[in-house]
Structure 1
């Protein structure tokens, strides 16, 4: 499992995030341990109240556990991973809460511990917790026989396309896959050995090299989005300065935007909007399928919860009826028979708990398979959309190299597209009838 964690405060924001059913298809509060409160919000507020007796501001430790994409991981496996993490970090016996999230056919878990030890009124220290979490993650991969990510084999082999939250948000606004955007910048940097070559490589993809507001070097795309060159190319600022030796000669961001806006005709802007809106018009069908599937799965889970609750009440009553009462109960206590019956009841209650959890796990596993099948259709549409926008990006980049005064913009646009090698044909039979072509992110 990939383990990511942080020390933090602000329990209100964290509880809203963990219980967010809008961005997650299924949310389950699995466990609240060591708190007086039984719900997540009040449990975290309780941790905050206790922390007032200390100087600790980041009194919570939040951890996410993400298993490999194609692995079916049971609740017991998640719990074992959480226990192992507790032991490695020194958080054993600390109050904690566990929440399960499901989205796009995958299940992952979040755990929140209170760092405050109520007996000593001090915060548990977590030195080098990122390194320790990497050790735990590596051990979990090896124990479960999962393929070990390169980043866990050697730090230098970790995926260079991992992005920060800010980079992801910016790339989402640009309506492109952030990993592809970062890969593109890295490719441009590696394929160029001079400032002019770098400008040319970026221009071919629709980006203009410019001087940033903070003296950094940036690239501006045809929508006016600004990308920090060093960050997206995965290089140091010093390397950028060595390649772009006279940044003062570059246009400012505003100048670059103005230049792009002057050359981007209204006709070309309309082509971009047409490509993006075409997928929006087709999206409701598959989105409706997704919503109906999520609603049906929630109903199934509510039904099995009610079934387990009713059966648990009946079985509890049956076990209680076995215990003798009155004089017979007193005699059975004296002979030890009562203790044997009580231990038998406890054993049967535990067996019933395991049975119910196994039934629920099987249901969730089946539902995840159903959701993953639908997700394949969604991913196919996203890939098609990304390919279309990438092609349009290249076409616009080619047209921007022209003087922008062609009398027939559509003809010039199409002529530019014809100059590139034709893409392999794709079967589009019954595309309109296939709901797998009806969704965009």
Structure 2
């Protein structure tokens, strides 16, 4: 289970993000501990209000817990992991909120603690929290027998294709997958043995090498997006300069963008638009199926919660009726029968609570499995789209070099790619979760 934490402010924005039901298939506020408020916004506002009596600028500590892919983790296992992290960080007893998200077929948890110690009115210090969370994460992988990621085994073995949030946002703006984009830049860098070869490799992929500010080298795509070579190739700036400083007459970013814009004819722009429209149609159809399935699942969960609440009310009344009142109740206390029956009631209540939790976890796992087919289709389509995006850049580069004599069939290429992705999906995976009646 990967644990990622950060100290932060912005209580209202964080609460809104955690309650976002648009980007998450299911959202559940699982626990609010140590707050007067009974809602997430109110709880976080309490933290913010308390922090005003201190010098703390980041009164919140936010932690995300992400299990390995295709591992269905029980609520109890999540809680045990949260307790382990809380103890390791020294946040025992601090007010906290736990929120569960289900997104893209995976269930993960978010925990937010208040760093403000209300007794001493100061923030709890969290030195080396990243290293401590890595220690907890390693222990969880060992306890559950999961295959540990290379980055946890040894920091030097971290996946070189990991990307930052800024890289993710830039790739999203360019309508590309950040991991595939980073792999392309690294592949070009590794295959080229000189600056000229590297520029040629980028040009073959549809990118123009340009001179950025402060002697930095960048690549520009046909949309005019700018990519820092060192960052996207995952190499040091000094190594980039050592290889590329000998290149002469590289255009500036503005010149490269102007050259690309001049070569992008209206016909070519139309092909790009049609290609991307084909992808969006497939994506929209899948999103509609997902929305219908999620809506039914939300109703099933609401029905289960209502049924459990009704059963709990009935069972509480039955347990209460076993405790005599008045003179008989006084006699039961004297003889010890009252304490014995109260203890039996507590054990019965605990058993009922465990039963209800198992029922809920079972329903959640079934819902995750039902959505598995849709997410498999989405991943297959995305992989096909990523490959087609690389081909699109190459086709545009070739088309521009040929002065537009042979326009590529970009629309057909994207349509065929989406159909190939659909054909690769097994029937069982394609149908799972779609044939059940509400």
**TM-score, reference length from structure 1:** 0.91
1:384-414 deviations in Å (ceiling 9; x for gaps): 2222222222111222333x2x5x443xx47
**Which has the higher mean CA deviation after the structures are superposed, 20-29 or 265-274?**
265-274
Deviations 1:206-225 (CA, angstroms, capped at 9, x unpaired):
00011224542110011111
1:254 deviation in Å? 1.0
Distance 1:339 1:82 in 2: 34
C-alpha change, 1:384 and 1:216, in structure 2 (3 Å) is same
Q: Which residue of 1 aligns with 2:412?
A: none
8 Å CA contact retained: 2:25, 2:102: yes
Aligned pair in 2 of structure 1 residues 430, 111: CA closer, same or farther (>3 Å)? closer
Q: Partner of 2:10 in structure 1?
A: 10
* C-alpha displacement of 1:383: 2.0
Cα distance in 1 for partners of 2:111, 2:424 equals 46
Against the structure 1 CA distance between its residues 42 and 427, is the aligned structure 2 distance closer, same or farther, given a 3 Å change threshold?
closer
The answer for unaligned runs of 5 or more in structure 2 is 410-416, 432-438
User: Which residue of structure 2 lines up, in the alignment, with residue 58 of structure 1?
Assistant: 58
Q: Which residue of 2 aligns with 1:149?
A: 149
Instruction: Name the residue aligned to 1:280.
Output: 280
- Residues of 2 paired with 1:296 and 1:122: CA distance? 46
Q: Which residue of 2 aligns with 1:359?
A: 359
- The CA deviation string for residues 49-107 of structure 1, in whole angstroms up to 9 with x for no partner, is 11111111111100000000111100001000000001111111111000000011110
Q: How is 1:28-427 mapped onto 2 (pairs within 5 angstroms)? A: 28-245=28-245, 249-402=249-402, 404=403, 406=404, 408-410=405-407, 413=408
Deviation per CA, 1:35-61, whole angstroms, max 9, x where unpaired? 111211111111111111111111110
Q: Is the 8 A contact 1:8 1:58 kept in 2?
A: yes
Contact 1:15/1:41 (<8 A) preserved: yes
CA distance in 2, matches of 1:305, 1:178: 40
Deviation track 1:270-316 (CA, whole Å, cap 9, x = no partner) reads 22111111122344432221111000000000000000100111100
How many residue pairs were aligned? 423
Alpha-carbon deviation of 1:428?
8.0
Distance 1:161 1:254, change over 3 A: same
RMSD over aligned CA atoms reads: 2.4
Q: Quick one: distance in 2 between partners of 1:226 and 1:434?
A: 42
Alignment partner, residue 435 of structure 2: none
Question: In the alignment, is the contact (CA less than 8 A) between 1:134 and 1:152 conserved in 2?
Answer: yes
Alpha carbons of structure 1 residues 372 and 429: separation in structure 2 relative to 1, 3 Å:
closer
Query: How far 1:187 sits from its partner (Å)?
Result: 1.2
Unaligned runs of 5+ in 1: 415-422
The question of whether the paired residues in 1 share the 8 Å contact of 2:373 and 2:429 is answered with: no
Q: Deviations over 1:352-394 (max 9, x none)?
A: 1110000000000000001112211122222222222222221
Alpha-carbon distance, 1:429 to partner? 7.4
Tell me, in whole angstroms, the C-alpha distance in 2 between the residues paired with 1:236 and 1:346. Answer: 63
Question: Aligned residue for 1:420?
Answer: none
